[in-house]
Amino acid sequence: MENNKNTKRNNLRIRKERLGRRARILAVGYVFITIGLIWRMGYIQFVEGKKYAQKVLQSISGKEVIIHPLRGTIVDRNNKVIASSTITYNIILDPYQFLNDLTMEKQQETYKALATFMNKPIEEIEQTVLLSPNSRYKILVKDISLEEKEMLGELHLSGIWYEQSFTRNYPRGQFASQLIGFYNKEKGQYGIEQFFEKYLKGKDGRVYPTLHQGDVIMTETVSPVNGATVVLTIDEVIQQYTEKIMVKYIELLKPLNASAIAMNPKTGEIYSMFSYPYANPQSYTNLIAQIGKDSWYSLSTTEQAIKLNEAWKNYNIHSSYEPGSTFKPLMVAAALEEGYLDPDTFVVNCTGSIDVFDTNIKCWDRYGHGKENLSQVLANSCNPGVISIANEVPTDIFLAYMKKFGAGELTGIDLPAEEQGLLHSIKNFGPVEKATASMGQTFMMTPLQLITGFSALINGGYLFEPYVVSQVVGETVIYENTVDIKRQVISNETSEIMTKMLEQVITNGTGRAAAITGYQVGGKTGTAEKGFPRNPNKEILSFIGYAPVENPEIILLVIFDEIPPQINVGGQIPRVFSEIITPVLPYLGIQNQDLYTPILNVVTVPNVIGEDIYNAIEILNKKSLTYNIKGGGNKIFEQYPPDGTNLPQNFEVTLYTDTDNPKELVNVPYLIGLTIEEAKEILGESLKIEGAISGEILSQIPKANIKIEKNSKIIVQTMN
């Protein structure tokens, strides 16, 4: 019995000891766990407190907000705005705040106001909130004006705020469109907008939350840096003249493509650059409006994509072509420079063709030009004459000069995606290839390559790198272009001979229509058949000219690609040059050289900005200037050329008003050189012809390119 009691007492003692050990172990474990938790809490609070506070902060306040900078302005050489940016605002909705912080009454108040402003059903805006209940950032409307923002602000709506943005403006529409390019809401595309993106885009600003003084939530703002101003070498007035005349002849001649470049031959500065087909950067993808609804929908998807790309292709730098006879003077200069040609003794007899190896190459004049000296070869654009000169020049030297003048080499212009052209290698350059190359065929150049090479011909022999941007300006001048001479191609002596000799093309040769009263002009016509085999119905017609001959200040190249064969061109390409350059020369301050031209024939353009139309017309009439009204408003808000410009009497001043074109005035087209039947077809029902019933028109009253009332008469004289 006693033993049983002792056993029970021992068992009880053992159990108590075990429980005590367990309790002590648990107590120690609890102490360690407590210490660990305290340490972890301290670590989180003091070591990673800022990190977790930021996470909490972001969950409360949403992500950091970007402040978009204003994209930089593009201006011409005289600081006339070509592309600019206007501050706009995006309406931002905060769905999380809507659902968690606002009463139903406040929600409905905001919904109703937004629905009215956006012209949308309330249900659509409610759906935007309900689809993203935890979102802190939803863009409801983009690009509202400051006035619209202030109007909404007066309603004190809850749950919305405003983010600054901008819209890109091209106030002059299609003005130099392929040169300028466009902004596609994300970045610049094509032209200046693309090439100078890093300067134009600016730097984003930020508004983001931070933690200050322990647990105080604040916001910190980094201001945006607006884009810089890009200053072009383009002169708005010269560009306007170029575009106006080119458009006139495009409507008349209906080419597949057309282009024009005006440049300072002594610096490489581009004054104007035109390319057709053209596009409008303000509606950069809306080709339906530009080419016509019916025409657009008649195209396949692939054809539509090609059209979009073509609309933004700058023919001057993105297209290579065979320059034709405009290249002939460059080859002649090479022969002169190397001593293979004596300009005083050279004589050739053109019989209408010349045999080269096993090929007979014809002259454009099938009957031949007979005996010619060097000036006559160029004036007549004689193929056998230039081939006979090329035959005297060794092949390697011939090719070397083609390269020296810039063929097959990028010009280095500050525009994207310049085409390099195509040039023969010496192993593929046989006698026939050499002969045809001397005529400007069987190799490819861009228009820009040709005009820079031709400039070396007339500027003392120097090949310049052309450029269209003179400066990029922020708070200071960030970038400044300088005149860059790539190399000297020919001597000053050879350049002087060629510069004077090419005047004969205008006075006695194929470029007579390029003549300008009171100025000495030099230049060269060009015709090149397209395709392999050659298609005589597909030609590229061009003219390159310069003035004044004694000291060239401007050079201009105009090109018309593939004019329909049924259209009678009749030497009109040199006339395009003349009509563009005629007002540009006095605008540049180049004095009329005709001693018999009375001083009174040159007048100073008055300022008519702010005048009503009738006062403006009266002021211009008193100055013996004509006018061209753009728009149908009552007041003049812009004029070209600007006041202070010296122009010949009877020259046209373009006046801009603020609405659509007036319907009662129509433009007088250029009719000289056309038959009566052709003129009537162009005039349609808008104007009538009097004075002759048949023959080729020699003169017209009133002259071309002035506005007269619809149904007015044009009096013409003809050659029967």
Q: What pLDDT is attached to residue 660?
A: 40
Helix (H, G, I), strand (E, B) or coil at 312: coil
pLDDT at 110: 83
Higher pLDDT, 290 or 584: 584
CA distance 468 to 448: 12
User: What's residue 548's pLDDT?
Assistant: 96
Considering only residues 139 and 53, tell me which one the structure prediction assigns the higher pLDDT. 139
Q: Please check the confidence at residue 542 and state whether its pLDDT lies above 50.
A: yes
Say what the pLDDT of residue 596 is: 36
Query: Which comes out higher in pLDDT, residue 558 or 531?
Result: 558
CB 659 within 8 A of CB 685: no
pLDDT band at 226 (very low <50, low <70, confident <90, very high): very high
* Closest of 700, 650, 651 to residue 674, by C-alpha: 700
Q: Convert the pLDDT of each residue in 119-148 to its tens digit.
A: 888 888 888 778 877 777 888 888 888 888
Q: Which residues contact 443 (CB under 8 A, 6 or more apart)?
A: 322, 402, 407, 408, 421, 422, 423, 424, 437
Percent of the chain with pLDDT over 90: 45
Would you state the structure tokens that stand for residue 374, as one six-digit string?
A: 């060097």
Instruction: Give, for 100, the enclosing helix (H) or strand (E).
Output: helix 95-101
Q: Are 380 and 392 in contact (CB under 8 A)?
A: no
Residue 663 has pLDDT above 50, yes or no: no
As a whole number, the mean pLDDT across the chain is 83
Instruction: Decide which of 395 and 298 is more confident.
Output: 395
What's the pLDDT at 57?
45
Q: Which residues contact 431 (CB under 8 A, 6 or more apart)?
A: 356, 357
Question: Which pLDDT tens digit goes with each residue over 332-360?
Answer: 999 999 999 999 999 999 999 999 988 99
pLDDT at 437 over 90: yes
Q: What is the pLDDT, as a whole number, of residue 597?
A: 38
Neighbours of 487 (CB within 10 A): 11
